[in-house]
Amino acid sequence: MHKDPRLWTAVVIMAGAAWLIGNALIPARPPAVAKEAIPVIRYVCRKSGEVFSLPLTGDVLNHPTTGQPTLVPAVFDKKSKKWRPGPPLEVMHQKGLLRPAS
């Protein structure tokens, strides 16, 4: 093996320079989905009935205060004029029930 410290110093400097130049020339990858593209929908707490407008990220979300997984996508009940827990997201999407919160 080469025991000359100058060689290894040069190798380390070249590798560092290549890394810095590579990072400067190659832009960072954008996120898979822009935050603006994620719709905000209504979620309702199954325990308290509280309604939240949150980004659509899943079927069941954690309550912001309690941390418990009690928030589910909501649908508006026209008879009672209240938000209530809706069916699973896939069913809501098929039936056209997913509408962004305004």
> If pLDDT is split at 50, 70 and 90, which confidence band does 31 have?
low
The domain locations on the chain are 35-95
Structure tokens belonging to residue 6:
């100058």
Short-list 70, 68, 75, CA closest to 93: 75
Residues 47 and 99: their CA atoms lie apart, in Å, by 23
Is residue 1 over pLDDT 60? no
What are 41-67's pLDDT values in tens digits?
899 999 999 999 998 888 899 999 999
Mean pLDDT of the chain: 85
Q: Cα(21)–Cα(13) distance, rounded to whole angstroms?
A: 12
- pTM: predicted TM-score of the whole model, two decimal places: 0.61
